[in-house]
Structure 1
Amino acid sequence: MILRERDTQEGLLVAVCDDDVLGETFEAGDVSFTVSEEFYGGDEVDESEVVDSLTRASVANIVGTEAVSLAIEKGFVDEESVLDLDATKHAQFLRV
């Protein structure tokens, strides 16, 4: 998976995606979603690093079947809140 962290005034922003979706565009109905290098590009990491990052995140954007499945399994997002976008999945969370 590919992970990028950004410190913001609101806290840690985490973007994580599966390796194979970076640079791809997905569509579902009227929704078109591009997994851009400028937002999601970062370091290739293993599952434990993703979990550590999501644990510390204030806001997270998660794209890809593997990454979203991990986020569900570890309790970061509810499966009901996941968007199906063509051949992949997308989830977000915000801690307040």
Structure 2
Amino acid sequence: MLLKERDTPEGLLVSVCDPDCLGETYENGKVSLTVTEDFYGGEDAEEADEETVLDSLHRAAVANLVGEETVRVAVEAGVVDEETVLELEGTLHAQLLWLR
């Protein structure tokens, strides 16, 4: 999985995607999601295992997740409710917002 963290005034923003999703655009009706190099990849992104991704998600204020493996990890860990996951042209997308 590709993991990218950014510090913002509102807290830590985390983006995670399956590597094969990078550069792709997924749609479902009026919803469209482009998995850009700028937001999900680039020099600041790192390849991460499940433990690293979950650590980052627990520290995040907000997170964006794309891809079957990435979303599965978050759902199985109880970080994302499976009922809130969107399916966009065969891939999965979830957003996470911690209210602290």
Normalised-by-shorter TM-score class: over 0.9
User: What residue number does 2:24 align with?
Assistant: 24
Residues 47-66 of structure 1: pairs in structure 2 closer than 5 A: 47-66=50-69
Q: Provide the secondary structure at the position in 2 that maps to 1:93.
A: strand
CA positional deviation for 1:39: 0.4
Gaps of 5+ in 2: none
User: What residue number does 1:73 align with?
Assistant: 76
Q: Provide the secondary structure at the position in 2 that maps to 1:26.
A: strand
Q: Provide the secondary structure at the position in 2 that maps to 1:23.
A: coil
Distance 2:49 2:28 in 1: 29
TM-score, length-normalised on structure 1? 0.96
User: What residue number does 1:92 align with?
Assistant: 95
TM-score, length-normalised on structure 2? 0.92
Aligned residues: 96
Which aligned runs of 4 or more in structure 1 are off by greater than 3 angstroms? none
CA positional deviation for 1:47: 1.1
Distance 1:10 1:72 in 2: 24
Distance 1:30 1:7 in 2: 30
Gaps of 5+ in 1: none
Q: Can you list the C-alpha shifts for 1:17-75, whole angstroms capped at 9, x where unaligned?
A: 00110111111112221000100111111111101101111101000000001000011
1:34 pairs with 2:61: no
When the two chains are superposed, the root-mean-square deviation of aligned CA atoms in Å is 0.7
